[in-house]
């Protein structure tokens, strides 16, 4: 019996879809059976980031309206045997998806997969309600900005009313270390204190991430980048391992190290 | 043999007159006797105004009856009713008093978009985050950070106040008064309270220490019991 995790944020553009893709990929790298569900009807992106756009035949609305079987709509990833994607509909009417339909799909997928990662649309309307309907736990993504933290707070309030198995957990995305140090960005501790939920990971703002998303290759596939390690760490924490938060300090060059040594 | 106990006893004190009204006679009887008694003494013109306290004992008067009584007493004489005291109140009133005077303890974080509203005083163990809102008809005590909006005395109690461990509210409201945070970025304050300052006619934030001087009786219930 698998576990369904919804990735949500309230505000748009904080990196829900990228986070979903990378957590899913990282879990698959650890030999877990993972299914990704895109619930952003009309504005689907998850397939693009996963590089699976050209394989879509059926989508989630087709499944709910009975035009195909769930298994037919699932797209198998090109890199992993047990990583699948249930894409959102691009054209269909939004109201086609209901909370009951979502619950059914999720519980069916739970029979076969270890983890169901649900990518939630922005906002708090029906799309959000659908996305959290079948979920067992929630991960809230925020960036170190006031507006995004405010929306995360609102979302956490709504999730807490849902009586999920566990309280939601937090990912702080797009951290720019030098700005945080200067006090131009909200501090990690301040955000955690305000939102009062457990932190499950921090991810630095990384240009490589944009490159990877454009290529349709989630960054967590390549182990050379800091943000890739961040996502893998988050996946390990989801599995219940204790992994310390990585330091966001920039690696210093050789000359800088010597300068620092002599305190120049 | 029937002993007729006087329905109305008048007693003079230094502060004025006290009218004791017998509990066992009917209201009609009392009104008649009262008119007779008051007619007996016609006031002289330059007589100073005398304040009168009416003690009703275990008698409950409706609002209309109180009005009637007041009219008769104040009509001809230079009397002014200072207070009408009764030893009884209806159960309904008592229940609303109790409801409004109770301290509700709530343990939660009031997050953005959430509203927590209570009758009586509110003790919140947890934070009020930006965009969150707490409302109470009495006082508000927050053991946590107040970063959103707090509204005390929503039914118009200007004596109500708001106290918090850490205060950096978007707005403070007490009864119909509203004050907002300054436009410049300011740090919050620890262990402070918001209270209406009658001299400045606005809400001021002050140390909790000063509260004991300004609000001797904190509980709304005690205030009402004492002031009727």
In a domain, B24, yes or no: yes
Please give the residue of chain A at the shortest CA–CA distance from B113: A154
Mutate to test the interface with A, among B129, B133, B146 (most CBs of A within 10 A): B129
What is the helix, strand, coil percentage profile of chain A, to 5? 45, 15, 40
Q: Are residues B215 and B102 both part of a single domain? A: yes
Number of domains in chain A: 1
Residue A198 tokens read as: 């457990």
Q: Is residue B1 very low, low, confident or very high in pLDDT (cuts 50, 70, 90)?
A: very low
Number of domains in chain B: 2
Q: Is the pLDDT of residue A191 over 90?
A: yes
Which residue from B111, B127, B145 is facing A154, i.e. has the nearest CB?
Answer: B111
Q: Is residue B4 very low, low, confident or very high in pLDDT (cuts 50, 70, 90)?
A: low
Share of chain A above pLDDT 70, in %: 94
In a domain, B2, yes or no: no
Please give the residue of chain B at the shortest CA–CA distance from A150: B112
At residue B68, the pLDDT reads: 85
CB-based burial of residue A195 (10 Å sphere; 0-12 exposed, 13-18 middle, 19+ buried)? buried
A151/B111 touch (CB, cutoff 8 Å), yes or no: no
pLDDT of B209-228, one tens digit each?
Answer: 888 777 766 655 555 555 54
Q: Is the pLDDT of residue B19 over 80?
A: yes
- The domain that holds A201 is classified in CATH as 3.40.50.300
User: Which residues constitute the domain of residue B73?
Assistant: 8-88
Which residue from A150, A160, A196 is facing B112, i.e. has the nearest CB?
Answer: A150
Domain boundary among B60, B88, B116: B88
Q: Are residues B121 and B200 both part of a single domain? A: yes
pLDDT of B42-84, one tens digit each?
Answer: 666 666 778 888 888 888 888 888 888 888 887 776 788 888 8
Q: How far is A111 from chain B (nearest CA, A)?
A: 35
CB-based burial of residue B58 (10 Å sphere; 0-12 exposed, 13-18 middle, 19+ buried)? exposed
Q: Are residues B104 and B66 both part of a single domain? A: no
Please give the residue of chain A at the shortest CA–CA distance from B126: A196
Q: Which residues of B touch A160 (CB under 8 A)?
A: 111
Q: Are residues B100 and B184 both part of a single domain? A: yes
Contact B173, B152 (CB under 8 A): yes
In a domain, B107, yes or no: yes
Domain boundary among B37, B72, B88: B88
In a domain, B150, yes or no: yes
Q: How far is B177 from chain A (nearest CA, A)?
A: 26
A157/B113 touch (CB, cutoff 8 Å), yes or no: yes
Q: Are residues B116 and B52 both part of a single domain? A: no
CA distances to A4, A202, B73, B219 from A63, in Å: 18, 35, 83, 60
In a domain, B164, yes or no: yes
In a domain, B3, yes or no: no
A153/B127 touch (CB, cutoff 8 Å), yes or no: no
Q: What is the rounded distance in angstroms from the CA atom of residue A149 to the CA atom of residue A191?
A: 7
**How large is the ipTM?**
0.78
Q: Is residue A16 very low, low, confident or very high in pLDDT (cuts 50, 70, 90)?
A: very high
Q: Are residues B51 and B144 both part of a single domain? A: no
What does the CA dihedral B14, B17, B23, B26 come to, rounded to 10 degrees?
170
Q: What is the rounded distance in angstroms from the CA atom of residue A122 to the CA atom of residue A124?
A: 7
The count of CB pairs under 8 A between chains A and B is 30
Q: Is the pLDDT of residue A250 over 70?
A: no
Which has the higher per-residue pLDDT, B95 or A99?
Answer: A99
Which residue from A153, A158, A160 is facing B129, i.e. has the nearest CB?
Answer: A153
Q: Are residues B84 and B132 both part of a single domain? A: no
Sign of CA dihedral A62, A63, A67, A72: positive
At residue B225, the pLDDT reads: 58
Residue B190 tokens read as: 């620890």
Q: Are residues B35 and B51 both part of a single domain? A: yes
Chain A residues contacting B via beta carbons under 8 Å: 150-151, 153-154, 156-158, 160, 194-196
The mean pLDDT value for B166-180 works out to: 93
Q: Are residues B103 and B212 both part of a single domain? A: yes
Q: Are residues B106 and B214 both part of a single domain? A: yes
- The domain that holds B141 is classified in CATH as 2.160.20.70
Domain boundary among B59, B88, B117: B88
A157/B127 touch (CB, cutoff 8 Å), yes or no: no
Please give the residue of chain A at the shortest CA–CA distance from B132: A154
Q: What is the rounded distance in angstroms from the CA atom of residue A89 to the CA atom of residue B138?
A: 52
User: Which residues constitute the domain of residue A167?
Assistant: 3-261
Which residue from A157, A160, A196 is facing B112, i.e. has the nearest CB?
Answer: A157
Which residue from A150, A157, A194 is facing B114, i.e. has the nearest CB?
Answer: A157
At residue A159, the pLDDT reads: 94
What does the CA dihedral B134, A190, A14, A51 come to, rounded to 10 degrees?
-130
Q: Are residues B131 and B211 both part of a single domain? A: yes
Cβ-proximal residues to B130 (8 Å cutoff; 6+ apart), any chain: A150, A153, A194, B112, B147, B148, B170
Contact B149, B169 (CB under 8 A): yes
Prediction pTM value: 0.76
In a domain, B1, yes or no: no
Average per-residue pLDDT for chain B: 84
Which residue from B109, B112, B130 is facing A196, i.e. has the nearest CB?
Answer: B109
Q: Are residues B81 and B106 both part of a single domain? A: no
In a domain, B191, yes or no: yes
């Amino acid at each position: 019996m698998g576990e369904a995790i919804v990735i949500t944020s309230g505000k748009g553009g904080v990196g829900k879809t990228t986070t979903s893709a990378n957590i899913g990929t990282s879990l698959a790298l650890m030999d877990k059976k993972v299914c990704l569900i895109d619930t952003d009807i009309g504005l689907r992106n998850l397939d693009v980031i996963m590089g699976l756009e050209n394989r879509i035949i059926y989508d989630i609305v087709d499944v709910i309206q009975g035009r195909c079987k769930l298994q037919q709509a699932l797209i198998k990833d090109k890199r992993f045997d047990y990583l699948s994607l249930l894409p959102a509909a691009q054209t269909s009417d939004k109201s086609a998806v209901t909370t009951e339909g979502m619950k059914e799909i999720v519980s069916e997928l739970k029979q076969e997969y270890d983890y169901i990662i649900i990518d939630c649309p922005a906002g708090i309307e029906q799309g959000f309600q659908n996305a959290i309907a079948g979920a067992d736990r929630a991960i809230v993504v925020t960036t170190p900005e006031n507006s995004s933290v405010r929306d995360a707070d609102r979302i956490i309030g709504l999730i807490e009313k849902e009586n999920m198995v566990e309280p939601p957990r937090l990912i702080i995305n797009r951290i720019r270390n030098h700005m945080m140090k200067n006090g131009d960005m909200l501090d990690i501790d301040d955000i955690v204190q305000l939102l009062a939920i457990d932190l499950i990971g921090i991810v630095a703002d990384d240009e490589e991430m944009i490159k990877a998303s454009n290529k349709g290759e989630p960054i967590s596939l390549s182990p050379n980048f800091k943000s890739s390690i961040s996502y893998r760490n988050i996946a390990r924490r989801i599995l219940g391992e204790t992994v310390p938060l990585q330091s966001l300090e920039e690696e210093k060059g050789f000359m800088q190290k010597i300068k620092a040594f002599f305190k120049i | 043999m029937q002993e007729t106990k006087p329905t109305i006893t008048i007693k003079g004190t230094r502060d004025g007159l006290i009218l004791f009204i017998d509990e066992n006679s009917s209201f009609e009887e009392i009104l008649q006797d009262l008119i007779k008694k008051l007619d007996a003494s016609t006031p002289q013109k330059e007589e100073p105004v005398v304040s009168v306290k009416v003690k009703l004992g275990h008698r409950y008067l409706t609002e209309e009856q109180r009005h009637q009584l007041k009219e008769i007493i104040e009509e001809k004489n230079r009397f002014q009713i200072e207070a009408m005291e009764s030893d009884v109140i209806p159960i309904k009133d008592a229940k609303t008093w109790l409801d409004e005077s109770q301290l509700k303890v709530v343990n939660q974080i009031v997050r953005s978009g959430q509203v927590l509203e209570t009758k009586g005083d509110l003790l919140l163990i947890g934070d009020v985050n930006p965009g969150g809102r707490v409302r109470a008809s009495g006082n508000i005590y927050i053991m946590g950070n107040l970063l959103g909006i707090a509204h005390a005395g929503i039914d118009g109690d200007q004596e109500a106040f708001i106290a918090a461990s850490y205060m950096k509210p978007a707005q403070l409201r007490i009864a119909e008064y509203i004050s907002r945070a300054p436009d410049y970025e300011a740090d919050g304050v620890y262990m402070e309270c918001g209270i209406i300052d009658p001299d400045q006619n606005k809400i001021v934030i002050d140390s909790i220490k000063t509260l004991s001087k300004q609000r001797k009786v904190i509980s709304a219930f005690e205030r009402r019991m004492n002031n009727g």
